[in-house]
């Protein structure tokens, strides 16, 4: 493959070319040359050289989604590994990390091998997150060392919060020798049992059982106390040589107090990171007044003040990454009474656009860092940057293009953004020596 990208603005905080408009020549999976008005070799035929040129084009390292429910194996009627890769590529992602809450769970070398085998040849690289406990049931440990060597990028019980504090404590200790990453979704499920949406005025008016913000915040406070127990030395010198990167990652936080708790923990030097789902920036709990089941998510949409706090956390760096929290549900799971509908939104195709549309004051290079640099750092991957002789794992996009999300390539259709006009669009991805043009 030989590709010349003409006059693209480079958006990569790690690149010396960040913010500059340059031509980029790619050959055999590597960035061969970066410059202005690069000459085309006369020996290149039309068949051997592809040229991409478009007004408003931007170029970044490939986007990485840390939280995707692929539903495969087990619920392939909702999504499978082929369709999830198709949706990911259409959203501009070159890499996705898939949750272990499948049937069977990703709790053995065999199931991790299944994910790798089923995604060979896909334009998107799929990274399995392995289960902490067998069948993600929260009881007996998996063999995390074996799973680490088998390619697990992190450890989590996925959609199931790790409720037992002793299990969480021992997991943190167990992961220390190989600097493993624990990902936990903070929810005290005993406080949210039968909950349908955020607890507050809107839930009262709708007559729906609420899910209190306290349920999320209590688990974050508990986990941070346990993290401090395992890593007791705090302060600016705490991290030198002791650990590399965050060892505890909170997935899909949603409340103002959660942001503040994690902000303080980082200031104390605790090895912690967090992410939010893109759709949390688009709605607050008043959006559920129409009982649209496509807006039923977990964590639920919170108050407008919580949305403001999430935006502040993104701006000041407290929140490290933005994820899709892609959770496909079929019609039988969504086209029913609100009380009985499953939680979840499909989000792979709209992450970038939703953030650009609903939080346009976030600087573009910061947004891209939360889709590229930070996710890779969290899972201990080598940094990708746009420089000569570096791997060509890239996303091309237009941050200003308006488009209507008319259809999805996912097997499921549970998105509140279908039919909506959004700002910012992924156009091409380049990965594994393949160029994928992302049609509208």
Residue 239 confidence (pLDDT) above 50 = no
Q: Note if the pTM is more than 0.85.
A: yes
pLDDT score at 42 = 63
32-41, 114-123, 161-170: least confident range: 32-41
- Residue 317 is classified by DSSP as T
Mean pLDDT score across all residues of the chain: 95
Residue with the two structure tokens 């051997």: 48
Check whether residue 22 and residue 108 sit in a common domain.
no
pLDDT tens string 142-199: 999 999 999 999 999 999 999 999 999 999 999 999 999 999 999 999 999 999 999 9
Check whether residue 55 and residue 155 sit in a common domain.
no
Backbone angles phi, psi at 404, to 5 degrees: -105, 125
Strand, coil or helix: 174: helix
Check whether residue 129 and residue 275 sit in a common domain.
yes
pLDDT score at 1 = 74
CA distances from 400 to 356, 372, 419 (A): 8, 19, 18
Residue 237 confidence (pLDDT) above 50 = no
Residue 280 confidence (pLDDT) above 70 = yes
Mean pLDDT of 81-88: 98
Strand, coil or helix: 230: helix
CA dist 331 and 415 (Å) reads 12
Residue with the two structure tokens 């947004």: 367
Domain range spanning residue 106? Answer: 61-378
pLDDT tens string 47-70: 688 999 999 999 999 999 999 999
Q: Who contacts 87 (Cβ-Cβ below 8 Å, separation ≥6)? A: 79, 326, 346, 348, 349, 408, 409, 410
8 A C-beta contact, residue 129 and residue 153:
yes
8 A C-beta contact, residue 83 and residue 406:
no
Q: Is 325 a catalytic residue?
A: yes
pLDDT score at 287 = 98
Residue 410 counted as domain residue: no
> Catalytic residue among 325, 330, 331, 339, which?
325
Higher pLDDT, 7 or 232: 7
pLDDT tens string 126-154: 999 999 999 999 999 999 999 999 999 99
Whichever domain contains 54, its CATH number is: 2.30.40.10
CA dist 384 and 180 (Å) reads 20
Residue 154 counted as domain residue: yes
Q: How far is CA 308 from the centre of its chain?
A: 20
Instruction: Identify the CA nearest to 358 among candidates 397, 318, 416.
Output: 416
Higher pLDDT, 43 or 304: 304
Total domains, the chain: 2
In the structure, what pLDDT confidence band is assigned to residue 241 with cuts at 50, 70 and 90? very low
pLDDT score at 40 = 82
Check whether residue 92 and residue 6 sit in a common domain.
no
Residue 17 counted as domain residue: yes
Check whether residue 154 and residue 14 sit in a common domain.
no
Check whether residue 28 and residue 78 sit in a common domain.
no
Check whether residue 327 and residue 348 sit in a common domain.
yes
Q: With residue 197 as reference, give the H or E element that holds it.
A: strand 197-198
Residue 19 counted as domain residue: yes
CA distances from 282 to 145, 311, 358, 397 (A): 39, 11, 6, 21
26-40, 81-95, 269-283: least confident range: 26-40
Residue 32 counted as domain residue: yes
CA dist 414 and 196 (Å) reads 17
Residue 14 counted as domain residue: yes
Check whether residue 23 and residue 127 sit in a common domain.
no
Quick one: the chain helix, strand, coil %, rounded to 5?
30, 20, 45
Whichever domain contains 188, its CATH number is: 3.20.20.140
CA dist 49 and 26 (Å) reads 10
CA dist 14 and 374 (Å) reads 11
**Residue 355, both tokens:** 């953030």
Instruction: Identify the CA nearest to 351 among candidates 89, 100, 77.
Output: 89
Q: Who contacts 436 (Cβ-Cβ below 8 Å, separation ≥6)? A: 89, 123, 428, 429, 430
Omega prior to 299 cis, within 30 of 0: yes
Q: Where are the beta strands (DSSP E) in 11-62?
A: 21-27, 30-35, 50-53, 58-61
Instruction: Identify the CA nearest to 155 among candidates 63, 253, 249, 252.
Output: 249
Contacts for 70-75 with beta carbons within 8 Å, 24 or more apart?
70/98, 70/99, 70/102, 70/115, 70/126, 71/102, 71/328, 72/102, 72/118, 73/102, 73/103, 73/104, 73/111, 73/114, 74/102, 74/103, 74/104, 75/102, 75/103
Check whether residue 184 and residue 76 sit in a common domain.
yes
Check whether residue 188 and residue 306 sit in a common domain.
yes
Check whether residue 113 and residue 36 sit in a common domain.
no
Residue 340 counted as domain residue: yes
Check whether residue 40 and residue 186 sit in a common domain.
no
CA dist 365 and 367 (Å) reads 5
8 A C-beta contact, residue 109 and residue 150:
yes
Residue 10 counted as domain residue: yes
Strand, coil or helix: 160: coil
In the structure, what pLDDT confidence band is assigned to residue 245 with cuts at 50, 70 and 90? confident
């Amino acid at each position: 493959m030989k590709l010349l990208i003409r006059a693209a603005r480079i958006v990569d905080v790690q690149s010396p070319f960040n913010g500059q408009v340059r031509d980029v020549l790619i050959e055999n999976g590597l960035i061969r040359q970066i410059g202005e008005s690069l000459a085309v070799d006369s020996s290149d035929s039309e068949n051997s050289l592809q040229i991409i040129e478009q007004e408003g084009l931007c170029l970044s390292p490939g986007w990485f989604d840390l939280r995707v429910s692929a539903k495969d194996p087990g619920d392939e009627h909702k999504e499978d590994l082929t369709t999830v890769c198709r949706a990911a590529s259409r959203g501009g992602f070159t890499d996705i990390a898939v949750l272990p809450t499948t049937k069977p769970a990703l709790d053995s070398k065999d199931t991790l091998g299944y994910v790798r085998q089923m995604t060979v040849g896909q334009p998107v690289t799929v990274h399995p997150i392995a289960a902490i406990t067998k069948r993600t049931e929260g009881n007996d440990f998996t063999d995390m060392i074996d799973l680490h060597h088998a390619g697990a990028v992190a450890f989590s019980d996925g959609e199931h919060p790790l409720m037992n504090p002793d299990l969480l404590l021992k997991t943190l200790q167990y992961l220390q020798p190989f600097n493993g990453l624990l990902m936990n979704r903070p929810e005290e499920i005993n406080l949210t049992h039968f909950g349908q949406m955020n607890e507050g005025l809107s839930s009262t008016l709708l007559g729906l059982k609420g899910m209190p913000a306290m349920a999320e915040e209590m688990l974050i406070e508990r986990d941070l106390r346990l993290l401090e127990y395992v890593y007791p030395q705090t302060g600016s010198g705490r991290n030198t040589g002791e650990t590399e990167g965050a060892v505890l990652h909170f997935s899909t936080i949603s409340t103002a107090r959660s942001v503040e708790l994690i902000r303080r923990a980082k200031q104390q030097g605790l090895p912690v990171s967090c992410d939010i789902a893109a759709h949390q920036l688009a709605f607050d709990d008043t959006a559920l007044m129409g009982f649209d089941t496509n807006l039923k998510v977990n964590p639920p949409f919170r108050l407008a003040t919580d949305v403001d706090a999430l935006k502040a956390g993104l701006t000041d760096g407290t929140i490290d990454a933005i994820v899709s929290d892609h959770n496909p549900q079929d019609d039988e799971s969504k086209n029913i009474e609100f009380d009985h509908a499953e939680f979840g939104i499909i989000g792979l195709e709209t992450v970038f656009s939703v953030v650009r549309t609903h939080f346009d004051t976030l600087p573009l290079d910061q947004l891209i860092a939360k889709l590229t640099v930070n996710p890779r750092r969290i899972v201990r991957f080598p940094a990708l940057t746009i420089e000569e002789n570096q791997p060509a794992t890239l996303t091309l996009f237009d941050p200003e293009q308006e488009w209507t999300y008319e259809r999805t390539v996912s097997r499921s259709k549970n998105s509140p953004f279908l039919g909506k006009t959004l700002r910012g669009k992924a156009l091409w991805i380049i990965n594994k020596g393949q160029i994928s043009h992302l049609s509208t």
